[in-house]
Chains A and B, each alone.
Chain A
């Protein structure tokens, strides 16, 4: 009974489905602190979607639909760096990944500002984290209905992120 209670209590947040995302203007993360006028508010560091299974499943769908696989393959990387390993060039925090997608990064990561709505960027960010096992197992998505390319995110072993800050092309030979 205790197991039952704990199991289902954990589900309170897991099963939330938010169809109406909070309105957010595109481009609310900036690269520089220098700006005229009042200070803009700090971007959130907590991913509002990380804790829901629906958000992660949406992130998985969007990963395919927006063709992230075109450069990152299914997480193993091709012309873009792999996403399922422990190396993080620009940081593994949800806000870092959100910023990567929104702003783009040097060496080929395009900016998706104005192209992908903000809540979807958060969903993608959560999904990317799940590729290396950073998300709780009962929330991470199961296998997709496609060809089996890697273990589903809920069975991936959690990797300890290494914040390397050195892009692949700049590493010492």
Chain B
């Protein structure tokens, strides 16, 4: 092969590679930029804010390092010496070796400095995340992970103010919230990217995480540790609200269930209490007191059902009650074949439980 031909092929190789890499980066980043729901790059609280800043710092430095290394590689491809492939290699001159040794040592030193900077920043951010905080105004929430839903309990010194709900958490804005995390069966992981990193829920252990939302909003979280068939559909919502709104919500949740008013709702309650529903679900104020499945006392006040998988409207509720295995195969709720008028009455009742 002649020298010039080799050069052309080489130029083709360099440009093509660089272009490919740049194209990929641009395409990926522009198709879906930064923020959004459930995104770690869309922080809404101090924890995720600090982590996000750490991320951008590391990203910029790492991109520079990557570009430098790749650039040097491309340059050396272009600058390669000419020579026959059959010649034996010459030994490099001592001068050239010394120069290279200096550069390698300098590069290694730069690496160490950069890593040191990362380490310090990471440690400081980590300290900030777990720093003890004045939690007098704070809220404590207990979350227990089940296969495949979240049991949420708001404890209180006054026992009559304790209540339990499922999959939807409300917190006041601007106030630190401490989550006590437990698992009832396998390992799950509590993760709301807009607000904080994740914490595992491990059977036999209690984890704690505290976070804070700085602006009102609705933030989606999802289980982040493989926990079986429906790990993909185990999500939750956090509603960050102004204090008054949160207090009002809380006061409502503490109440027992709304008594059925219309005939259809009464019939629906009867259906609930005389069929399979009552063996797994609790509705405070009725004789239904099982705690295998989510607490349904205020189910109609929630935005979603089935661990944030379905919107909470009549049609979805109907298909969930009728055959949840079609939607979330393998989940713990069995299909329930009701007669049409029973189903309508039941839906009326459930939708009245605000």
Contact = CB atoms under 8 A, between A and B. Distances in A.
Query: Is any CB of A less than 8 Å from a CB of B in the complex?
Result: yes
Interface of A: 17, 19-21, 23, 25, 65-66, 114-117, 119-120, 145
Given A115-B275, A145-B185, 13 more contacts: A19-B325, A19-B330, A20-B326, A20-B329, A21-B334, A23-B337, A65-B280, A65-B292, A114-B274, A115-B276, A116-B276, A117-B276, A117-B335
Contact of A120 (B278, B326, B334): B334
Nearest to B334: A117
A120 B335 CA distance: 11
Given A117-B335, A117-B336, A119-B334, A145 B275 contact: no
Contacts of A116: 276, 279
Q: Is the interface of A mostly helix, strand, loop or mixed?
A: loop
Interface in B261-305: 274-276, 278-280, 292
Given A23-B337, A117-B336, A17 B330 contact: yes
Which 4 pairs from chain A and chain B are nearest by CB?
A19-B329, A117-B334, A19-B325, A65-B292
B192 to A, nearest CB: 27
Given A17-B330, A23-B335, A115-B276, A145 B203 contact: yes
25 contacts: A17-B330, A19-B325, A19-B329, A20-B323, A20-B326, A20-B329, A20-B335, A21-B334, A21-B335, A23-B335, A23-B337, A25-B337, A65-B292, A66-B279, A114-B276, A115-B275, A115-B276, A116-B276, A117-B276, A117-B334, A117-B335, A117-B336, A119-B334, A120-B334, A145-B185
B309 to A, nearest CB: 16
Interface of B: 185, 203, 274-276, 278-280, 292, 323, 325-326, 329-330, 334-337
A93 B345 CA distance: 39
B337 A115 contact: no
Contacts of B325: 19-20
A134 to B, nearest CB: 25
Contacts of B337: 23, 25
Contacts of A145: 185, 203
Contacts of A114: 274-276
A14 to B, nearest CB: 17
B334 A115 contact: no
A117 B330 CA distance: 15
Nearest to A17: B330
Nearest to A67: B290
B122 to A, nearest CB: 35
Contacts of B334: 21, 117, 119-120
B100 to A, nearest CB: 57
Nearest to B330: A19
B148 to A, nearest CB: 13
Nearest to A24: B337
Contacts of B203: 145
Chain B CB count within 10 A is highest, among A19, A21, A116, for: A19
B322 to A, nearest CB: 11
Contacts of A120: 334
